[in-house]
Amino acid sequence: MPQEITELTKKYPAVSEYITQIYLILRDYSYCNNRRLSLHIGVSASAVTQAVLRLKKLGLALQDTYGMIMLTPKGTELAEELLRRHYLLEYLMVKKLNFPWELADDEAGHLQDKVSPDFINHLDRELGSPRTCPHGNPFPDNPDAEKILAAPGLTDMEPGDLVEVVRITEEGERIDGLLHACFEIGVMPGNQYIIERFDDASVHLASANTGTTYAFDRRFAEHIKVYRKDIP
C-alpha cells in the first residue's frame, strides 16, 4: 500500500485530499455525505460528486442510497497511511526544525504523498514513533485515540472551569487564521486555562500558569478540544 500511494496520487492528485478528508470527517462526526465533504474541502458540489465517483471506481469508497459515504478497507488503509505521513512530517517540522506550529499543516499537506515509504519509516524511528501530531490529533493506531477524539470542545465548558488543551481539530486546522490565533495566545496541547466568561465574540481565558488573560475568537473555540481538570 505505501508504494501505491505515490503511484495513485501521481495519477489522481485529488485522491489523497478526498480520502483523508472523508476519513477525518468520519472520525469526528461518524457520518460523511457530499455536502459535508464540499464544505470541508471548500469545493463545489459537482466537484465532490465527480471525486466520489472516482473513489468508487478505484474501490476506495462506497456510497449508500442515502448519500452516506464510507471508505472500503483499502480506502481506510490508504487514508491511515496518508495521515501517518502527514503527522510525521508535521512533527518533524515543528519539533525538530522549529518550523512555525501554525504553518506545518499546510506544508505537510504538500509533501505527504510525495515522500517514499522508506523515508517515512525512517522518520518514524528517528522521531521515536510519536502518538499525536503537534496539534494534538492522534495517529490512527494511537491506543488512546478514542479518548482523545471524545474530548469536549472549549464551547462546552462553563465559566470557572480549568481546562487543558488536548487538540485542535483537523477541521479547525484548515480554518483561516485559527492556528495563528491559537499560537499567539498559546492555545496548544498541554497548556491550561481558566475560563473566565463567554460573550458573543470571544471566550475570555486566563492562563493557569501566568494568569494573563486573553480574548479568544469564539468562532474558533468549538474546534479546540479540552479536558476539564480539577482545580487544585
Rounded CA-CA distance 187/190 in Å is 9
In the complex with Fe ion, the residue whose CB is nearer, 101 or 193, is: 101
Tell me which residue has cell 496541547. Answer: 189
Q: How far apart are CA 221 and CA 217, in angstroms?
A: 7
Minimum Å distance from CB 20 to Fe ion? Answer: 12
Pattern of binders to Fe ion over 78-117, x per CB under 5 A? ------------x---------------------------
Q: Do residues 63 and 49 lie in contact, with contact meaning Cβ atoms separated by under 8 Å? A: no
* Spatial separation of the C-alpha atoms in residues 109 and 85, rounded to whole Å: 9
Contact string (CB under 5 A) for Fe ion, positions 112-151, x = contact = ---------------------x-x----------------
Q: Do 143 and 211 form a contact (C-beta atoms < 8 A)?
A: no
Q: Which residue lies nearer to Fe ion by CB, 85 or 135? A: 135
CB of 90 to Fe ion, least distance (A): 5
Least distance (Å) from Fe ion to the CB of residue 86? 7
Decide if 41 contacts 182 (C-beta within 8 A). Answer: no
Q: With CB under 5 A as the rule, give the number of residues binding Fe ion.
A: 3
Nearer to Fe ion, 25 or 162 (CB): 25
Cα 78 to Cα 68: distance, rounded to the nearest angstrom:
19
Applying CB under 5 A, the residues found at the interface with Fe ion are: 90, 133, 135
